[in-house]
Each structure stands twice: as structure tokens, then as C-alpha cells.
Amino acid sequence: MAALKYAGLEDTDSEEELPPGWEERTTKDGWVYYANHLEEKTQWEHPKSGKRKRVAGELPYGWEQETDENGQVYFVDHINKRTTYLDPRLAFTVEDNPVKPTTRQKYDGNSTAMEILQGRDLSGKVAIITGANSGIGFETAKSLALHGVCVILACRSPARGDAAVQRILEEWHKAKVEAMTLDLASLQSVQHFAEAFKSKNLPLHMLICNAAVFGAPWSLTEDGLESTFQVNHLGHFYLVQLLEDVLRQSSPARVVVVSSESHRFTEIKDSSGKLDFSLLSPSKKEYWAMLAYNRSKLCNILFSNELNRRLSPHGVTSNSVHPGNMMYSSIHRSWWLYTLLFTLARPFTKSM
């Protein structure tokens, strides 16, 4: 009883009644959490019952959900002309008590980004996503933005970047999204992007290296390097180096490098087993688009592993990820045959 009195829990009889100093709130996607004003902390579990809850159903007619300047959700009753921080659906909550899955069963090929982020309030976090105007990058940017993250869409085309921002704002007009120009085929552009981001004096909690080209014909960048190698790997490598100090200062932070299972089908060693760096940026005569892509993805993984070894002691983790085989995005646009193959595989692969 002494412990209950100290926690302020002995003053109420009902298991569902909140102790003095506690307040019930909801996130943007309907999950209930509890604010302890005395200790200035929040938690998902009810302070007495230990249960997790979510609100059920849609908002009543005439109500609208908004977010204030501090990122806290409030509700507008347009019929009675009033606002409140109390979700009108809190009288109709349902208990969240799923069967606890094993690690292998928690997510599968049918999981969506919104399902994985469900119940998470990521307000105050900042993310940069390269190639975020379409495909995997756009879906990642949208999902994070709808959960409160300030998202920078780093795109080669300013017009397509701005269009992607508008698509996200149409879903939630309070989303914190911005497009910035980044051309990974230009190391100078990478440098300018990093400088422009740093000038905003923002933290950086997530750097998602997603942009890539696939099946592209041989060409050299303005830096004199083969394009697939520079866009898929070297441009991201340079970007991470330029933003490493911000990532460290923002810890805990993470770098996510989108790689591919196809990294297994290549090698960057010569016949004697030594690293052959000429394979990374080959001449036109020795170029094969698929091999160039595979090698760039292998470089992604080697880079991510070493980056994690160096930065994880400083609170910055790095992971590489295989998003799924032959996902139908715009990555196959370089050649009609690739488009045909991806179209045939589309019914059997994960959707955007």
C-alpha cells in the first residue's frame, strides 16, 4: 500500500479511473497513451491496469483532428465551435491484447509500412530519404511523415520532388515534408545538399539511402565515374561521410542502405582473389548493366557493415536491407525488356 500511495494510485477505486496527475491522450493514428504531469513522462500502458488501448471507429460527424505547434493532437468540434485535446472516441476504446508473435512471425511479405509504424509517435524526428519522389522511397517518406517525422525528400528532379511533397500533404496537411535537390551523379551536388541541410540546423535521426538506377546503359558522370556505381553507391557513401557529424550529434540515429539480394551474384575480386577496383567503374567495353548493378549493391552491404562497426559505439547504427524481389517501381524504366519482366512478375511480388 505504501508503494501505491507513493505512486498516487490508492486514491481511485476503479481499475480504469486514472490517478491524480494523469491524462489520457491519443496519437494521430488512434492509439491511446497516458501522460503523467507530475513526473513529466508518457507511457503506452494504463498506469493501473497495465493495458494498452486504441480508439474504435471514426470521429463523430462534425469533428476534425488537428495537430498543434508542439506536435500534440487536438480535436475541433465544428458544430459546437469548440476545441479539445480529449479524443471524443475515448469512451469507445478497445483493448489491444494480441497474441505475442515470435520474431520470425512478427512481420512478413504482406506487412505494410503503416502496419509496422502503427501506434508510434515519431514527432520531433528528422529523416532524409534519397530518391523519395517515387517507389519505395516515396512510400517510406509518406509513412514516416504521417507518423510525425520531419522528412526531407532528397530528389534529383526538383519538380518531381515538389509533386511528391504535395501528394503527402494531400493525405495530411500538417505533415512536415520538404523537397531538396540531390543529384547523386554529381559529387558537387552531394556536397551542396549536405551544406544546405546543415544550414537548417536540424538534427538527423534517419538517413535512408534509397535512390538507385538499374539496367542503365553505360555512361560516365561529370566526375568521370561509371554512372551506376556512382549513383547507387559512391554518391551515398560521400553523403554519409558529409553528414556523419550530424548523425553523431543526433544519436540515437540510424543509416539504412537499400541494397538487393542480387548482390550475391557478382564478385569484386580478380582471378587471384585480390580486390579489383577496376571492376567497380568499368570501361564501356567491359560494362554489363546487370553486373554493374549487382556490384553496386554488394558495395552497399560492405559499406553498411563497416559503417555500423565504426559508428555504433557512438550511437549511430547502420543496416542494409533487401526490399523484395522485382518490386514493381520505376527502377526498371531503362529498358523495355526489364519493364516486361517486372510486369510479368508483378502479381507475385510485394506491392508499393
CA 98-101-105 angle, to 5 degrees, is 130
Of 34, 61, 74, 293, catalytic: 293
CA 338-342-346 angle, to 5 degrees, is 175
Report yes or no: 65 and 173 within 8 Å, Cβ to Cβ: no
Q: Check if 293 is active-site.
A: yes
Spatial distance between the Cα atoms of 53 and 46, rounded to a whole number of angstroms:
8
Spatial distance between the Cα atoms of 214 and 212, rounded to a whole number of angstroms:
7
Q: 83: helix, coil or strand? A: strand
**Number of Cβ atoms within 10 Å of the Cβ of 146:** 21
SS3 annotation, 25-41: EECCCCEEEEEECCCCE
Spatial distance between the Cα atoms of 247 and 242, rounded to a whole number of angstroms:
10
The residues with which 76 forms a beta bridge, in sequence order, are 64, 83
Active site residues: 293
